[in-house]
Chains A and B, each alone.
Chain A
Amino acid sequence: MRPEDILKFSLADFTYNDSETVLDPPRDFETWTSDPRIGVAMSFFEQPLQQAPTPRTTLDHRLSGGNREMINLTSYNYLGLSTHPEVVQAAIDALQTYGVGASGAAMLSGTFDQHEKFAAELAEFKGRDACMLYPSGYAGNLGAIQALMQRGDVLVIDSKCHRSVVDGVKLSGARLVSFEHNDAQSLDAMLERHKDSRRMVVVEGVYSMDGDLADLPPIAEVCEHHGVPLYVDEAHSTLVFGDTGKGVVEHFDVEDKVGVDFGTLSKSFGGIGGFVCADENVIRYMKCYASPFQFSCALPPAVVAAMRKSLEVATRDDSLRQKLWANVERFRTNLEALNLDLGESASQVIPIIVGSDGQELIQLAMEAQQRGLYLQPIDFPAVEAHARRFRISVSAQLTDADIDEACNIIEDVIARPTGAVGAA
């Protein structure tokens, strides 16, 4: 590695280890991470929260060397259910009944009455035959795709799909093919090219780094034309989109064109876990062959009990969704007035795209956090090198005062220095 190139490198560059023993990380990686400038960038990782992920939280903030209160724009707690009193009480009650862990894999001893009831409730909510739970969202995509696909099959995914989808297809042995983001014509070409193989298409309801929606109507039409099943990852859209919160599939009224409906419990639900809804025979089959389901301990029953309450709270009326959308609107209005590049966001995930300069991104992030804004930088390779960014996760719990204060800080530390508004 040439010293003058250190800042050009990223986490994308060290996956191959050229050391003689596997317990020696790559030599260049050691050189790279020991550079103080890279050290500053990495200090944003794993800063421990000292309180719940609410809009005002306390962070052990390494950049200023101690605990400090921050306005939190980073947690996925979109509906605030992580700390909803009824959800917390449901967890406490279940802890006293069931203890802390499930103490077994779902197929043997890890399934409790809570799991069974919740899976049925989720299937009913999503309007599907059946549902199965996974220990995490990552495990859900990994397991579902690994179980459904096999060597010789082709999984056709949107180019911006999550790593869990990519890892699932690697594990399955099927071939991975991607189509241009949200481009139904590109999808059509890929399905045509691989028409001699069994295929499945995967898209996301809301893309997590851009906040844009899958263009589902034409994508579903192309899938239907080719007779290929469509798998929709609603990790960021469940409980947020659709009249009843089913997700983007409901929002676009294409429920009857989707074969597999995936969701997570770690975002709007405020807990942890993943779930997959499909026809009963598909779920029965997946349960027998999805390794992350078979070989992981089941979700703790108290978490499941809490998630049942989250579902009840979020669907008994639309007040939380309405509050979230009001907050999204207020944020967008304020940020658009600052002339910031928000990409194609149409959801509660709002990027602020800064550009190609990684050092500038880190400098802006330091200033934002030193002003009390917990807003994380999203650098290459998580996003394209020319579109490094911040990502705001709007929560229904934010007050108007929180949003206005956050936008004032964003104006001072991002919009003005980058020239979006006024003089630096």
Chain B
Amino acid sequence: MTETMTKDDIIAIIKKNLKENLHDVDVEAIEPTSSMRDHGANSLDIIEVVSATMRELQIRVPRSELSQVENIDQLADKFLEYL
């Protein structure tokens, strides 16, 4: 299932999970170049969004690899590496 995923698909999943964790966020307004913190996410929210997205993609990306990720676009790239 996940092998046919595109980067846009992954970004859509991240946005969906961000919406589920931050109820007052406007998904349409989320630019991939923004960070989750820009939308009010705290560290616990980010952990939850990343975990939920990885579960959905059926991948496990080391958290240590994510520490330098600065925005949603870069996060999607990192997930793509593990698909």
Chain A positions within 8 Å of B, measured between CB atoms, are: 1, 5, 8-10, 12-13, 15-16, 18, 28, 159, 166, 170, 175-178, 193, 358, 380-381, 384-386
Contact = CB atoms under 8 A, between A and B. Distances in A.
A381 B65 CA distance: 11
Q: What bracket does the count of chain B residues touching chain A fall in? A: 10 to 19
A10 B64 contact: yes
Interface string B23-60: 00000000000000000101110000001000100001
B51 A5 contact: no
A71 to B, nearest CB: 31
Contact of A385 (B42, B51, B67): B67
Contact of A386 (B43, B63, B67): B67
Question: Which 8 pairs from chain A and chain B are nearest by CB?
Answer: A12-B63, A8-B62, A385-B64, A385-B67, A9-B62, A176-B42, A380-B64, A16-B51
Interface string B61-77: 01111011000000000
Contacts of B51: 15-16
Contact of A10 (B42, B55, B63): B63
Contact of A5 (B43, B44, B62, B68): B62
Contact of B43 (A15, A16, A178, A385): A178
18 contacts: A5-B62, A8-B65, A9-B60, A9-B62, A10-B63, A10-B64, A13-B62, A166-B43, A166-B44, A176-B42, A176-B43, A176-B44, A178-B43, A193-B40, A358-B64, A380-B63, A380-B64, A381-B64
Contacts of A159: 43
Nearest to A386: B67
B52 to A, nearest CB: 9
Contacts of B60: 1, 9, 13, 28
A177 B40 CA distance: 8
Contacts of B67: 380, 384-386
A176 B21 CA distance: 13
Q: Which of B42, B44, B55, B64 has the most CB of A within 10 A?
A: B64
A177 B42 contact: yes
Nearest to B63: A12
B59 to A, nearest CB: 10
B4 to A, nearest CB: 20
B18 to A, nearest CB: 15
Q: Which of A18, A159, A358, A385 has the most CB of B within 10 A?
A: A385
Contacts of A380: 63-64, 67
Contacts of A9: 60, 62, 64
Given A10-B64, A176-B43, 5 more contacts: A8-B64, A13-B62, A15-B51, A193-B40, A385-B63
B43 to A, nearest CB: 6
Nearest to A381: B63
Contacts of B43: 159, 166, 176, 178
B44 A13 contact: no
Nearest to A380: B64
Nearest to B43: A178
B32 to A, nearest CB: 23
Contact of B55 (A18, A170, A177): A18
Q: Which of B44, B55, B60 has the most CB of A within 10 A?
A: B60
A337 B65 CA distance: 33
Contacts of A1: 60
A170 B64 contact: no
A296 to B, nearest CB: 25
Q: Which of B55, B63, B68 has the most CB of A within 10 A?
A: B63
Nearest to A175: B42
A10 B62 contact: yes
A1 B44 CA distance: 24
A170 B42 CA distance: 12
